[in-house]
Chain A
Amino acid sequence: MTPSVRSRLWASATSFALGFGVGNYGVLQVPRPDQWVWIAVAVVLMLTGAAGVLFADTSRAVSFWAILGVEVFAVFTLVPLLWTFTVATTPEGATARTLLPQDISWSAFDGAISSGTLRSAATTSLLVALVATVVAVALAVPAAYALVRLQVRARRLVYGLVVAALLMPVLALAGPFADQLVSLGAYGSRLALVVPMLVVTLPLATWLCVTVMRDVPWTLLDAVRADGATRPQQLRRFAVPHLGPGVVAAALLVFVAACNDFALGAGLAPDRPSLPLPATLLVASRQVDGSSAVAAAGLLWLLIPLIVLLVLPRRINHLLGRSYR
């Protein structure tokens, strides 16, 4: 579908005007070195406008509105990430004042990796998230299978319960859980965090697994059964190739969500040995030079979702998009 000439000209005009405005504001108001960022963005936008005029009357199936949108999207996404990097690489004792990093020092990253506090916090987070994810997925896969495939009475009720638990303000449960753990004498142990963490992982796992199960070609299973496949064969030839990737993607998402949970971890752990990473970062942000330590630790922690996204980009997007339908 080729966009019309008029639509392309409008897109060019908009993007040129936007670039012109950005460039002027940058030159007049923004001090160096960040001025260069504004000028670079302005040049890209105005070049898009020029290209739009040049290609307006061709039959290429390219939409300049889309190009403009993706450029705005890239700036919107990348500027805060760049700022996080700048904060993380600010030398000790200095405050980051510009978006572009001035003198890069990696000491905050070194500190984050070698700090015993952060390391034990990261271990707590990963351990708790791992156990809670394994338990949740093990429970969620059969539940999702029943919800999608079998005739269950009160199916909608169960599904409503799952969604309600997924969207509930978890913070409201942190206080009662803490009180319960205190009276059990388990306040402050790592493993005591796993049960409350199921509030986060179990609904999410069930909800994602329902989507996974809906996409499975179940008629194939009937065919495999009709052909007389044994149980192990059904498992190996049907379940692993058709269910496996989806369940793995769902489990990875649940794991990331459990790692990033803040309210429960911060409320249920009094001090260091059992404090998960997000809660530790809150404590760290209140210290001197805290921001760069927090930003460095956050960027390192971002590697986990980044790896997950790079390994299974298509499946993760598909799963998230379709789950929310």
Chain B
Amino acid sequence: MRGWRWLAPAVLVLLVVTVWPIGRAVWLSLTRSTLTGAGDQRFVGIDNYTDILSSRSWWLAVAATLAIVAVAVVLQLVLGLAFAVALRRLTVAWPVTRVLVLLPFGLLAIVSAVVWRDAVTSGFAVDWFGLDDVGPTGALVATTVGEVWRGTGITAVILLAGLLRVPTTLITSAIADGATARQRLTRVVLPAMAPAIAVATTYRALDALRILEGPLVTDAPGASVRTASFVVWDTTFSSFETGLGAAMSVVLLLLAGLLAAFLVPVLRVRRVV
């Protein structure tokens, strides 16, 4: 048990900073309380949960979030894989591409959301593609594209690392056996890099689930599409309904857990320390 002496401080701190607020969220979610007036907490049992689970707008927000997650992950995977293959073959350009590929990820998400929103509401995309008053939904789509743009580079880096682990001898012997390009892709390369694809999918999906900046900068009164994390934010920090917001947070955490519990066995994500 010598190892636990090294491990204990980190695990303890991690448990304190995660389990404590989650426990507090569960407790708050059973009360009706506000952020400003801390005095008037009232225990209401599971009323907050029944409010949320029977609310149409919450389920619409969840559906919109899941749609955004699906589209963003698929786009990032396809683009990331294409870029990873290209970057791998063109080793001459590595000094430049290595920096370029991670640069969008370094830009603040809020900045990317603001400029992508401006691009479709008043900027260059209006003239380029003849857009005509896209409204809050169009702006939300644009910020989601911006999020895809930010995440594609990191996805490409993950997939490139997976691609570099495909043994060259395997590919050369496939060529020697007369495999066509398509056969090499589907029979050799993709199976060999399946773990990397699985991990990239899971991680990017859970990252897309917590997109908050785009919905925040595109929200307008009367917007028809909202995302789950935006609703949590709005309830907690704009209406200051801490109790309801905490219940939504718990549901959001459960949603993330369910998504992970679905993706991990389906994609066979396995990773040993």
- Interface residues of chain A, those whose CB is within 8 Å of chain B, are 1, 7, 29-31, 34, 63, 65-70, 72-74, 76-78, 80-81, 83-84, 86-87, 95-99, 139-140, 142-143, 145-148, 150-153, 155-156, 158-159, 161-162, 164-165, 167-180, 182-183, 195-196, 198-199, 202-203, 206, 210, 256, 260, 262-263, 266-267, 277-278, 281-282, 285, 290-291, 294-295, 297-299, 301-302, 304-306, 309-310, 313-314, 316-318, 320-322, 324-325
Contacts and interface: CB of A to CB of B under 8 A. Distances in A.
Given A139-B9, A169-B256, A177-B21, A313 B1 contact: no
Nearest to A140: B10
A176 B249 contact: yes
B62 to A, nearest CB: 13
A80 B89 contact: no
> 6 closest pairs, A vs B, by CB?
A69-B86, A321-B161, A298-B111, A305-B106, A66-B89, A150-B3
Contact of A298 (B21, B95, B108): B108
B244 to A, nearest CB: 10
8 contacts: A70-B90, A83-B119, A142-B10, A164-B260, A174-B236, A291-B114, A302-B107, A324-B203
A174 to B, nearest CB: 7
B166 to A, nearest CB: 13
A83 B249 contact: no
B200 interface: yes
B74 to A, nearest CB: 16
B10 A168 contact: no
Contacts of B14: 161-162, 165, 198, 202-203, 206
A140 to B, nearest CB: 6
B35 interface: yes
Interface residues of B, number: 110
A214 B75 CA distance: 32
B236 A83 contact: no
B139 interface: no
A176 B253 CA distance: 13
Interface string B31-48: 001010010000000000
Contact of A87 (B9, B10, B107, B123): B123
Which of A173, A266, A321 neighbours the largest number of chain B CB atoms within 10 Å of its CB? Answer: A321
Given A70-B97, A202-B14, A290-B114, 17 more contacts: A63-B90, A66-B86, A66-B90, A67-B86, A72-B86, A76-B149, A80-B149, A97-B126, A145-B6, A146-B6, A152-B7, A165-B18, A169-B210, A173-B25, A173-B249, A177-B21, A325-B161
Contact of A143 (B11, B161, B196): B11
A316 B161 CA distance: 12
B232 interface: yes
Contacts of A302: 103, 106-108
B133 interface: no
